[in-house]
A and B are shown apart, each in its own frame.
Chain A
Amino acid sequence: MLNALALYRRYAAASIRAQLAYPTSLAMMTAGAFFVTIIEFVGVWALFRRFGHIAGWTFGQVALFYGLVSITFAIADAIPRGFDIFGDVFVKTGDFDRLLLRPRDPALQLAGYELRLTRIGRLAQGVLVFSIGASLAGVGWTPYALPVLAFAVAGGVALFCGLFVLQATLAFWTVESLEVANVLTYGGEAAAEYPLDVYARWFRDVLLFGVPIGCVSYLPMLAAMGRTDPLGTPAWLGPLAPAAGFAFLGAALLVWRFGVRHYTSTGS
């Protein structure tokens, strides 16, 4: 286990060195990621300028939800890159055979495939949006807000990583990477940018019980703000809800093991 951590650190360091070899390209891609996502947020601002509020939430409050899930997704999008491109780069080419030959867990090797520094652009957007929210919303943070939010980010990263692992597992059968998985990763992030009670009931339930994105964004944020859920979730659940993200990742890794056992090489 300690050995695995040390190995991951070496993978990450190698990946970072490789990306820093092209500093201009890195800087431009990072800036691009920042601009694309901050401009999305300009659209949110314009809507609030017209309407004032959404289901009773102010611009500053929504910015807190938006910033939290944006930070979470930026981190999650940087780490499991190897799983994201798994079908096209490892299964189709037969390169996964080589990973299986090495005396280390293939999941660890894929996790160490690349640590994408360009996601710092999106992370910066998330931090900026969250700061805007924190200064405008005037929230009376509860004393345990910081640990709850940190737990939410950790649980959220685990949840999105789990989704990328499931997407990769599908490639054992489909051979190619399935773009449909973007619905749950990018689409799930987009859905959680607003507090879930603005949505229709059926959609909310999908986001709480189907793919539990609400458990790592909406519920812990409410707990940090010291607000009760207008939908009636018990208050004690909020700080604990991000655990669902870790459970999801655990289940995804079990499915992944099952997939690995059924892997047949493309043989090229």
Chain B
Amino acid sequence: MSALAPYLAVFAGRFQLVLQYRAAAAAGFATQLWFGVIRVLIFAAFYAGAARAPMSLGNAITYTWLSQAFLTFLPWGADPDVAAMVRTGAVAYERVRPVDTYAWWYARALAWSAARVAPRAAMLVVFAGVVLPLVGLGAWGLSPPATPMAAALFAVSALGMALLSASVTLMINTIVVATMTDRGANVLTQSFVNLLSGLILPFAFFPDAARPWLRAQPLAGLVDLPFSIYFGAISGWGAAGAIALQFGWTAALILAGRAWLGAAMKRLQVQGG
């Protein structure tokens, strides 16, 4: 336990720190609400003229609200503190800490995304899942999980989402350390993450031939897989397989990322004076 203590401490410290940014959380809620409304209305208009669709409108709406609620889990770039350390040269201090740099940064990244998700998700779930049904707009709101089993599997998958997200962030951190700038890594990851996670569109809407490939790649575990489990589009053994895939990719990314970060830190050149 004492070996874990520093990592738990950095997690708790960063979590509490990021949670303090209440105005940012409120702004995030308002923005995600607005984008959620646009997407829901667009889906409704498409469905109005459709004979058949790959998922029900209710599920598409639930998918939309969930993806807006958990939006800040998406690893759009490097940990901003790590990027700043690389810019200023303070990253050298990370080498003298008596901790595993990868685990240390992993705990920071996890706390950062979790603390940003928590207030936004809480507000959005209350709005779309409670307020909308109460005012009689339940058809436009977030539905509860398909079954108690789906709820339990989603809980596990949501944890997988957080762990996977942090492992991708660490990959981007490593690119930043290796290239000494956060610009290149940040601009290119966002477009990949948006498309391959299923944020832009659920995989069910993509061409049938592409779907198995989309579901099998690592970023699917950030949006499409967990939400499909939530409303029961993936259930039973399929859900177990999806969760195994999620955790499997996370483990692979952690192993590869840790080895790569170790190599990059060995070759570290500190800039500035």
Hey, which bits of chain A sit against chain B, CB under 8 A?
Answer: 25, 28-29, 31-33, 35-36, 38-40, 42-43, 46-47, 49-56, 176, 178-180, 182-183, 186-187, 190-191, 194, 198-200, 203
Contact = CB atoms under 8 A, between A and B. Distances in A.
Nearest to B45: A198
Contacts of A25: 181, 183
Contact of B200 (A39, A56, A180, A186): A39
A187 B49 contact: no
Given A43-B200, A47-B46, A203-B41, A28 B207 contact: no
B71 to A, nearest CB: 13
A190 B48 contact: no
A20 B38 CA distance: 37
A51 B41 contact: no
Contacts of A39: 191, 194-195, 200
B49 A179 contact: no
Contacts of B44: 200
Nearest to B28: A179
Interface of B: 23-24, 26-28, 30-31, 34-35, 37-38, 41-42, 44-50, 53-54, 181, 183-184, 186-188, 190-191, 194-195, 200-201, 205-207
A46 B201 contact: yes
Contacts of A29: 183, 187
A173 B160 CA distance: 42
B205 A47 contact: yes
Majority SS at the chain A contact face? helix
A33 B48 contact: no
Q: Which 5 A-B pairs have the closest CB atoms?
A: A32-B187, A179-B27, A43-B200, A198-B45, A35-B191
Could you say which of B26, B27, B45, B200 has the most chain A C-beta atoms within 10 Å of its C-beta?
B45
Contacts of B41: 198-200, 203
Contact of B42 (A36, A186, A194): A194
Contacts of B47: 51
